[in-house]
Amino acid sequence: MSAYWRTFTVLVASFALDIRAVSSRQAPAAFSNPESSAVDYVDPLIGNGGDSPNGSGGMIPSTAPPFGMTRWVAQTRQNYVSVTPYNYTDSNIHGFQGTHQPAIWMGESGQVVIVPGVGDVKPAFEDRGMPFSHDKEVITPSYYSVYLDAPGGGSILAEQSATSRVGHLRFTFENTDTPYVLIEATRASVMGSADPSNVTYPSGSVSIDPSAREICGRNPERQDFIIGPNPAPSFAGYFCARFSVPFESYGTANNSDGQLFQGENERNGTQLSGYAILQRGTSMVDVRVGVSFISIDQARKNLETEIPDGTSLEQTAKAVREAWAEKLDRITVEGGSIENKLVFYTAVYHTLQYPYEQHEDGKYYSGYDDAVHEGESYTGYSIWDTFRAQWAWTILFAPERVNGMVQSMLQDYREGGWLPMWKNIVETNIMVGTHADSLVAEAVLKGFTGFDLETAWEAVYKDATVPPVNDWNTSYFDREENVGYEVRAGLSSVYDVQGWVASDVHSEAGSRTLDYAYDDYAVSVLASLLNKTSEASFFLNRSLTTPFSIFNSTTGFMEARNANGSGAGQDAGWTEGNMWAYTFDVVQDVEGLVKRRGGNISFIDFLDEHFDGGHNDHTNEPSHHIPYLYALAGAASKSQERIRSIAQEYYNSSVNGLAGNEDCGQMSAWYIFSALGFYPVDPVSGFYVVGAPFSDKVVIELPGIRKSLIVASPGAPTCPYVRSLTVDGASITTPIIHHSQISQGSMVEFGMSQQPESWASTTLISIESGTNMAVHEEL
Ligand SMILES: *[C@@H]1O[C@H](CO)[C@@H](O)[C@H](O)[C@H]1NC(C)=O
Ligand SMILES: *[C@@H]1O[C@H](CO)[C@@H](O)[C@H](O)[C@H]1NC(C)=O
Ligand SMILES: *[C@@H]1O[C@H](CO)[C@@H](O)[C@H](O)[C@H]1NC(C)=O
Ligand SMILES: *[C@@H]1O[C@H](CO)[C@@H](O)[C@H](O)[C@H]1NC(C)=O
Ligand SMILES: *[C@@H]1O[C@H](CO)[C@@H](O)[C@H](O)[C@H]1NC(C)=O
Ligand SMILES: *[C@@H]1O[C@H](CO)[C@@H](O)[C@H](O)[C@H]1NC(C)=O
Ligand SMILES: *[C@@H]1O[C@H](CO)[C@@H](O)[C@H](O)[C@H]1NC(C)=O
Ligand SMILES: *[C@@H]1O[C@H](CO)[C@@H](O)[C@H](O)[C@H]1NC(C)=O
Ligand SMILES: *[C@@H]1O[C@H](CO)[C@@H](O)[C@H](O)[C@H]1NC(C)=O
Ligand SMILES: *[C@@H]1O[C@H](CO)[C@@H](O)[C@H](O)[C@H]1NC(C)=O
Ligand SMILES: *[C@@H]1O[C@H](CO)[C@@H](O)[C@H](O)[C@H]1NC(C)=O
Ligand SMILES: *[C@@H]1O[C@H](CO)[C@@H](O)[C@H](O)[C@H]1NC(C)=O
C-alpha cells in the first residue's frame, strides 16, 4: 500500500509541474530552491479572476513571506475598494506595487510603486504601462518575473521577491533605450465608495540622495479613512529604495501632467514621483525598497536589517521560499487529483497571509492613538469572516502567531477603547458583531495565555455591555461615514426592548441580533474559563434566549423585528445573506433550533429545501457552516454529500477558482477543514463537526507538537461517504470531535464508502425504516 502510494505521489507531483508550466512558466532553477513540492502546488493566481468583484476571490499573485507586512504585485490597474491592483484580464503592467490592500472590498494604504522604463521618463499611469503576456510570467509565492515590451524596442525582464518589510526588484534591460526607474509616492486616489470618479489627492514627499543611490518618501494615502472612527492623522507609508547602480541623472515628477523637475532632490505634493535615469548601457539594476509605517529612517533600517547590501535577489527569494516551505512542507497530501492538491495548498497559502505584521523592529505605529508603541502588532482582521474557521485553522497551524495576534487586538482596545471589528491598519466598522470576543475566547479555551487575561475580559465584557455612542439615533448602516465605533450597534434595544435589535432603528438588525447572541456565548465561555460564574451564566442565558426572540413560529424563519415588536418583513435586516441562511445562524444552540423547526426529521427536510431550492450561497460566509448541520440532526451522510459537492462547485485551480471573496482566508479555511473531514461549526466550543475528507491521507506536522496529526481515509477521492471513524483507535459514533483530540497529534481514521452509510445517520435510518414517523412533528 505505502509503496504504491509513494510511486503514485511521485507521478502526480511531476505531472503537476507539467500542468503548472502550461498556465505560467516554471521558475528558473535558482528560484526553485529549496525543493518543495508543497510550495510548487501553490498557484497565487487562483482567486484573481471572476467576472465581478463579488464573484472573485479578490486575491492577487503577490510575493511576500507568510504574514508579510507588504505584499508586492505587478500593477495592472489602479486599485481601490472593489478593484485589486492586478487583474488577470489586463494586458499592461504599470509598475510593481508594495500593497497593503488586504482584500478586494477594502482600501489601499500607504503603498509605493516602482516603475521601470526606458527612453523619456513617463510618470503618468497610462503612459508608463508596458504590454506583457501571461506566457512570460513566472508566478510563485517567493518569486515573480515577467517580460515587458519596452517602448522603442527591446524588453525589460522584471523580477521580484520580498521579505516582510522590504521589496526586492531587479530589472534587466535587453536591447532597450536608456533605462530609468521611477518611484511613485502619491497618486490621485479613489475614495470611500467604489465610484472611480470620486477622487482625493493625498500629499506626500520624495527625497533623492544620488550619493547614497537612494530615493525615499512618504505616502499618507489611506482609502478607508472616511469610514472609520480613528482619524489617524499622521498615518503614512514610508519607503526608502536603494539602487545597485549609480544615477546618471534624477529628478522629481508629476504623474498628472507628466512634468519633470530634472535635478530636483526634494518635493512635496500630490501625484508625485521621483526618478533616477541610469547610465546608457546599464543592463541591470537591483532595487531594494524598505517600507515602514513609522518613518523614512525606519524604512531604511528595515532595508538594512532584512535585505542588507550585497544580498542577491536569488538569496532573498530563497529565504522567502524557505519560509513558505517551513509551513507548507508540514502537510503531506496523498491521493486525490492534482487539481485537489493545487486547490488545497493554495488555500493554505491564502490562510497564511492574514492577519499580517504591522510591527517593525519591535515597534508599531498605532492608528488608534496615532502614536508609536513598543510591541507586536497585526492588521488585516476581517473578523466577521475569519472567526468562523480561519481563526481555528490559525490556532492549529500557526500557533506561534496566536499570542501576538490576540495581544495586538488588546493593544487596539487599550489605545482606541474597543477590540477591532475589521482592522485595516485601523478600525473600519465593516460588518456587524463583536466577533473579536470569539477570537479571544477561542484562544484562551485552546490554551493560549500569552496576553493579559484581565484586559481580555475587560475588553469582551465591554463589547457585551456597552452600546456605541448615540445608539438610539444612529443606524450604523454598512460603511456609514462620520460615526464612532460601531461595535454592537443596537445593544441598547437588546437590553431595553425584548431582546432583539430593532430593525426600524438599526440596519442589518436580524443579523445583528443573531450575531450578538453568538458573541454573548463567546463571552460566557471566556467568563467560565476565568471562573466568573455569574457572568458566565448571565451571558449564556442571553445567548440562548436572544436568537429565538426573532424566530417567527408561524413561518419557521428568523425575521427581524421593529422596536414595538412588529415584524419587519422577511427581506429586511440581513447582511450578506437572507432569512434562509440566517435561520441557521444559531451555532451555539443547534439543538434549540432543531426543536423549534419541529425535530430532526423536519429539520433535515428544511435543510434539503434550503439546498435544493438554491438558497445556500457558499460565496458568502453565513452559509459556510450550514452543510454540517445535517450531521447534528442525525443525517451525517447528507452533510458528506453536500460538502463534497460544494468543494467541487466552488473551488478549482483556475484563475476563477474562488467564487466568493477570500475574505482574509475564510473561504480557504472552509476548504482546508472540509478536506480534512471536520469543521468548527461552533468555533468557541472547541468542537468540530465531522464531514468527510477528500484525500486518501493527509499528514500534518503541527508546529511544536512531536506527534503527527494523520487523517487516513483510503479511497476518499472516489468515496465521499463515511462508514466508520476512529481517533487513536477509539471508535467515534457521533459526528463530533474535540480540539483536544487533534491538537496534540493523533491518528484520525475514516472508513470511506461509495454510498451513504448509516454512520451517525440514525435519523435517516429511522425515516427509511418508518420507525420514526410518529415523531415527525409538523411546525
Ligand atoms: C477584472 O477586469 C474585468 C474587465 O474589466 C472585470 O470585468 C472584472 O470584474 C475584473 N475583476 C475583478 C476581480 O475586479
Ligand atoms: C457586492 O458586495 C458588496 C460588499 O459586500 C455589497 O455591498 C454589494 O451589494 C454586492 N453587490 C452585488 C451586486 O452583489
Ligand atoms: C466621495 O466619497 C466621499 C466618501 O465616501 C463622500 O463623502 C462624498 O460625498 C463623495 N463625493 C461624490 C461627489 O460622490
Ligand atoms: C516638505 O514638507 C515637510 C514637512 O512639512 C517640510 O519640512 C519640508 O521642508 C518640505 N519640503 C519641501 C521641498 O518643500
Ligand atoms: C501635479 O499637477 C497637478 C495638476 O495637474 C497639481 O494639482 C499637483 O499639485 C502637481 N503635483 C506636483 C507634485 O507638482
Ligand atoms: C443623536 O443624539 C445625540 C444626543 O442627543 C446628538 O448629539 C446627535 O447629534 C444625534 N445624532 C443624530 C444622527 O441625530
Ligand atoms: C478556575 O478554577 C479552577 C478550579 O478551581 C482552577 O483550576 C483554575 O486555575 C481557575 N482559573 C482561573 C483563571 O482562575
Ligand atoms: C434566562 O433567565 C431568565 C430570567 O432569569 C429565565 O426566565 C430563563 O429561563 C433563562 N433562560 C435560559 C435559556 O436559561
Ligand atoms: C410598529 O413600528 C412599525 C415600524 O416603525 C410601524 O410601522 C408600526 O406602525 C408600529 N405599530 C404599532 C402598532 O405601533
Ligand atoms: C410572523 O409571520 C406572520 C406570517 O407571515 C406575519 O404575519 C407576522 O407579522 C410575523 N411576525 C413577526 C413578529 O415577524
Ligand atoms: C436528533 O439527532 C441528534 C444527532 O443524531 C441526536 O443526538 C438527538 O437525540 C436527536 N433528537 C431526537 C429528538 O431524536
Ligand atoms: C472554477 O470555478 C469557477 C467558480 O465557481 C467557475 O466559474 C469555473 O467555471 C470553474 N472552472 C473550471 C475549469 O472548473
The 10s digit of each residue's pLDDT in 214-230 is 999 999 999 999 898 99
User: If you measure from the C-alpha of residue 402 to the centroid of ligand 7, how many angstroms do you get, rounded to a whole number?
Assistant: 22
The reported pLDDT for the residue numbered 711 is: 98
Q: Is 50 in the pocket of ligand 1 (CB under 6 A)?
A: yes
Question: Residue 605 is inside which H or E element, if any?
Answer: helix 600-612
The reported pLDDT for the residue numbered 8 is: 31
Per-chain mean pLDDT for the chain? 94
The reported pLDDT for the residue numbered 266 is: 98
The reported pLDDT for the residue numbered 335 is: 95
Ligand 7 atom, smallest distance to 531 CA: 1
Q: Is 482 in the pocket of ligand 7 (CB under 6 A)?
A: no
The reported pLDDT for the residue numbered 144 is: 98
Identify which has the larger pLDDT, 324 or 770.
324
Percent of the chain with pLDDT over 90: 92
Nearest Cα residue to atom 5 of ligand 3? 192
User: If you measure from the C-alpha of residue 268 to the centroid of ligand 4, how many angstroms do you get, rounded to a whole number?
Assistant: 6
Residue 7 predicted with pLDDT over 90:
no
183 and 249 in contact (C-beta within 8 Å)?
A: no
Tell me the ligand closest to 205's alpha carbon: 4
Enumerate the β-bridge partners of residue 267.
Answer: 206
327 and 348 in contact (C-beta within 8 Å)?
A: yes
The reported pLDDT for the residue numbered 772 is: 53
779: pLDDT confidence band, cut at 50, 70 and 90? Answer: very low
The residue assigned the cell 497564511 is 352
**Which of 728, 691, 726, 722 has its CA nearest to residue 708?**
728
Ligand 6 atom, smallest distance to 473 CA: 1
Cis peptide before 34 (omega within 30 of 0): yes
What is d(CA 443, CA 517) in angstroms, rounded to the nearest whole number? 19
Identify which has the larger pLDDT, 141 or 10.
141
User: If you measure from the C-alpha of residue 550 to the centroid of ligand 8, how many angstroms do you get, rounded to a whole number?
Assistant: 16
CA-based end-to-end distance of the chain: 51
Grid cell at residue 378: 497585526
The reported pLDDT for the residue numbered 193 is: 65
Identify which has the larger pLDDT, 709 or 3.
709
Question: Residue 195 is inside which H or E element, if any?
Answer: none
What is d(CA 461, CA 536) in angstroms, rounded to the nearest whole number? 11
Residue 10 predicted with pLDDT over 80:
no
The reported pLDDT for the residue numbered 495 is: 73
Ligand 8 atom, smallest distance to 545 CA: 13
Which residues have C-beta atoms less than 6 Å from ligand 9? 504, 562, 564, 566
768: pLDDT confidence band, cut at 50, 70 and 90? Answer: confident
What is d(CA 334, CA 343) in angstroms, rounded to the nearest whole number? 14
18: pLDDT confidence band, cut at 50, 70 and 90? Answer: very low
User: If you measure from the C-alpha of residue 620 to the centroid of ligand 6, how many angstroms do you get, rounded to a whole number?
Assistant: 34
464 and 520 in contact (C-beta within 8 Å)?
A: yes
The reported pLDDT for the residue numbered 26 is: 83
The reported pLDDT for the residue numbered 6 is: 30
* Maximum alpha-carbon separation in the chain: 89
Tell me the ligand closest to 536's alpha carbon: 8
Work out the average pLDDT over 637-653.
98
Work out the average pLDDT over 125-136.
97
The residues near 687 (Cβ < 8 Å, ≥ 6 apart) are 680, 681, 736, 737, 738, 739
The reported pLDDT for the residue numbered 222 is: 97
The reported pLDDT for the residue numbered 531 is: 98
What is d(CA 304, CA 317) in angstroms, rounded to the nearest whole number? 16
Ligand 8 atom, smallest distance to 544 CA: 13
Work out the average pLDDT over 590-603.
98
User: Cα dist. 265→49, 220, 258 in Å?
Assistant: 41, 20, 17
Nearest Cα residue to atom 5 of ligand 6? 470
Q: What is the pLDDT of residues 238-252, one digit of tens each?
A: 999 999 999 999 999
The reported pLDDT for the residue numbered 498 is: 75
The reported pLDDT for the residue numbered 120 is: 98
Q: Is 191 in the pocket of ligand 3 (CB under 6 A)?
A: yes
Grid cell at residue 738: 474535540
Ligand 1 atom, smallest distance to 84 CA: 14
> How many Cβ atoms are within 10 Å of 288's Cβ, its own excluded?
26
User: If you measure from the C-alpha of residue 8 to the centroid of ligand 11, how many angstroms do you get, rounded to a whole number?
Assistant: 42
Ligand 5 atom, smallest distance to 186 CA: 13
Q: What is the pLDDT of residues 744-756, one digit of tens each?
A: 999 999 999 999 9
Q: What is the pLDDT of residues 243-284, one digit of tens each?
A: 999 999 999 999 999 999 999 999 999 999 999 999 999 999
Residue 324 predicted with pLDDT over 60:
yes
Enumerate the β-bridge partners of residue 273.
Answer: 184, 253
The residue assigned the cell 512570460 is 136
The reported pLDDT for the residue numbered 541 is: 96
User: If you measure from the C-alpha of residue 203 to the centroid of ligand 5, how many angstroms do you get, rounded to a whole number?
Assistant: 10
493: pLDDT confidence band, cut at 50, 70 and 90? Answer: confident
258 φ/ψ sector (left φ>0, alpha ψ -120 to 50, else beta): left
Tell me the ligand closest to 564's alpha carbon: 9
The reported pLDDT for the residue numbered 24 is: 54
Q: What is the pLDDT of residues 66-110, one digit of tens each?
A: 999 999 999 999 999 999 999 999 999 999 999 999 999 999 999
Nearest Cα residue to atom 1 of ligand 3? 198
776: pLDDT confidence band, cut at 50, 70 and 90? Answer: very low
Which residues have C-beta atoms less than 6 Å from ligand 4? 205, 266-268
The reported pLDDT for the residue numbered 15 is: 40
The reported pLDDT for the residue numbered 771 is: 63
156 and 130 in contact (C-beta within 8 Å)?
A: yes
Q: Which domains does the chain have, with CATH numbers?
A: 60-328 (2.70.98.10), 354-575 (1.20.1050.60)
Ligand 7 atom, smallest distance to 530 CA: 13
Interstrand relation of 260-262 and 214-219 (parallel, antiparallel or unpaired): unpaired
